[in-house]
Amino acid sequence: MKIPVELFDNRKQEFVDAELFDDITPEDFEEIEAQWRPLVQEAKRKLIEMGKPDMVPQHAHWDWTRKAPELEMLAIRFFGIQCKQRLQGIVKLQTVGYESRILGHRGKPLVYIDYVEVAPWNVRMLTEPLGKKTEFRAVGTRLMEVAIRVSIDEDFKGRVGLHSLPRSEGYYINECGMTAVDRDPSKQNLLWCEFTPDQAKAFLPGESK
């Protein structure tokens, strides 16, 4: 599946064409580790040198190549966004094994966002320590949208849940409009955030609020 989407080019100050796709391959994971991880590690080193270790990305240790065996699992789906011949973001979704924790929806199935990452050149906290500007905006938004659409396709009504890393909580709550439910002691006390069907509908572009 390949779907045209738009990203905002910060250099041109205009929207540009991109492509959302789900035929992720091990080579895509290798591209991430070859092109993204060195930049993340360089930004991490700079932040520590600047006396800002608390700003170091909490996903700096991720290794997407370890997820290659999951490409064959039916209950797991990966989506990527490509623009200018480069991978700009990726998300791993699970369609089985998680349920809503919000009153009124509790126990109903949802799509779980297990991992989501945006290319480091699109993340301000990673580009600024290197003296650069971000290249594209809206990558994370497009990935959240596809999670909602998968939920709708699965007849989950747009319900989506995730465990947020501490420094991403503000994004999910304030920018995405998700509900902060509670902290999960079984998952490193991470905050469980969730889209209700109404919140999911409000997040999608062109949908009635």
* Mean per-residue pLDDT, 104-110: 95
Q: Is residue 107 part of a domain?
A: yes
Number of domains in the chain: 1
* Mean per-residue pLDDT, 59-83: 94
* Mean per-residue pLDDT, 7-33: 96
Report whether pLDDT(13) > 70: yes
Q: Is residue 197 part of a domain?
A: yes
Q: Is residue 209 part of a domain?
A: no
Residue 48: in which H helix or E strand, if any? helix 37-49
Q: Is residue 68 part of a domain?
A: yes
Residue from 160, 69, 83 nearest 118 by CA: 83
Q: Is residue 208 part of a domain?
A: no
The DSSP-derived string for 105-172 is TTT-B-EEEEEEEE-GGG-HHHHGGGT---SEESHHHHHHHHHHHHHHHTTSTT-EEEEEPGGGHHII
What token pair was written down for 30? 């290798």
Measured from the Cβ of residue 181, the count of other Cβ atoms closer than 10 Å reads 16
Give the pLDDT of residue 179: 97
Label residue 22 exposed, middle or buried (CB < 10 Å: 0-12, 13-18, 19+): middle
Residue 144's alpha-carbon distances to 17, 84, 127, 133, in angstroms, are 18, 21, 22, 23
Give the pLDDT of residue 205: 83
Domain hosting residue 79, numbered range: 2-203
Report whether pLDDT(73) > 70: yes
* Mean per-residue pLDDT, 101-128: 94
Q: Is residue 102 part of a domain?
A: yes
**Where residue 209 falls among pLDDT bands split at 50, 70, 90?**
very low
% of residues, the chain, pLDDT over 90: 79
Give the pLDDT of residue 208: 41
Pairing of strands 86-94, 179-184: unpaired
Give the pLDDT of residue 173: 96
Q: Is residue 89 part of a domain?
A: yes
- Global pTM reads 0.92
| Better-scored residue on pLDDT, 51 or 116 | 116
CATH of the domain at 73: 3.40.630.30
Q: Is residue 109 part of a domain?
A: yes
Report whether pLDDT(129) > 90: no
